[in-house]
Structure 1
Amino acid sequence: MHTSSLQQNILAELDHELANTRRVLERVPFEQADYKPHPKSMSLWQLASHVVNLLAFKTLFVNANSRDFLDPNAPKPGPTPTSHEQLMARFDEYSKTLLDSLHSSDDEKLTKHFQLTRGEQVLMDRPKGAALRIMGLNHSIHHRGQLSVYLRLLDIPVPGLYGPSADEQGAF
């Protein structure tokens, strides 16, 4: 009987979601970087950069045991990419780092806890695998969904993520 490990499950899901995220990011037009569908919304470029930078956050869940948002010495993503090429290069770099970290990990490490804090306030305390799933993948999927709405509002064909999109079917 073959059983699948926590690590294998996360890697399989991550492979699928990274491919989908790449397809959305490839369509983000840098020429419309300042676009906002609403005054309270992030700009298109802020949102696309956030989706990419979340990959570094997921890597932190694998490699570290905690992160304090108030720690001035904590790792932070690099400067905001200033071109589509830079955005995609960062996506590729951060994706590879995350996948390498997960491949170097194992189920035992992924069941150890990760704590996210803001000073003394505990924001999250979960097993690393759960943190990856909830604060990592779900968070990224949420923002990728927002990004796909921005594409739709800009009349840019939206890629199908879990089946063909209306653009790919020629519907609507």
Structure 2
Amino acid sequence: MYRNITDFLNDWKYESENTAKVFSMITHQSRQTVLNENVRSLERLAWHLSQTITDFGYRSGLLTSDPLDKQPIPESMTALTAIYQDYAEQFAKAVHSKWTDSSLTDEVDMYGSPWTKGTLLRILITHQSHHRGQMTIIMRMLGLAVPGVYGPTKEEWAGMGIPAQE
């Protein structure tokens, strides 16, 4: 659970920038590929992360509506990424302007359960990290490069002239 706004905003900036970086490496050809019926496409996962921002924002009172609810997936990853980045920024600004450190222990109704605002912020970050991890595995399976998020990728190690760890 987050106990101060600044810590969340710092983490959110890092995490949302890296999520957009992952989105930017998804090709037009690979975005709709479904590996099997139990695995979402890359664009569906990217759109889910975008919709989660507005859903959490609306349910918690940070946003007055959920503008992405029932909206179709944009036609390009460029458009989807721009929408994601816009709402990630709007979410951060709303947290900064509407919540305080002391309000992070206040509860909001999330899907029929009481969550503290600090818990909601933690879940938003971990939910995004979870799905971003799924996306990078799918990207690897499709032969796409992936960016390093919490450390260099194999390709980034090679670019530094260092053998990748096994």
TM range (shorter): 0.7 to 0.9
The TM-score, its normalising length taken from structure 1, stands at: 0.80
Aligned length: 155
Residue among 62, 79, 88 paired with 1:86: 79
Deviations 1:69-122 (A, max 9, x none): xxxxx73513211112211210121112111111102123322111123xxxx3
The separation in 2 between residues aligned to 1:54 and 1:76, in whole angstroms, is 11
Residue among 23, 34, 39 paired with 1:25: 23
Deviations 1:2-42 (A, max 9, x none): xx961111111111111111110111112223212222111
C-alpha contact 2:16 2:85 (8 A) present in aligned 1: no
Where structure 1 has 5 or more consecutive residues not aligned to the other structure, the ranges are 65-73
Between Structure 1 and Structure 2, the one with more strand by share is: 1
Aligned to 2:161: none
Matched, 1:164 2:152: yes
The TM-score, its normalising length taken from structure 2, stands at: 0.83
Where structure 2 has 5 or more consecutive residues not aligned to the other structure, the ranges are 159-163
One-letter amino acid of the counterpart of residue 111, structure 1: T
One-letter amino acid of the counterpart of residue 66, structure 2: P
Q: How many Å apart are 1:61 and its aligned residue? A: 5.4
Q: How many Å apart are 1:148 and its aligned residue? A: 0.6
The separation in 1 between residues aligned to 2:35 and 2:101, in whole angstroms, is 42
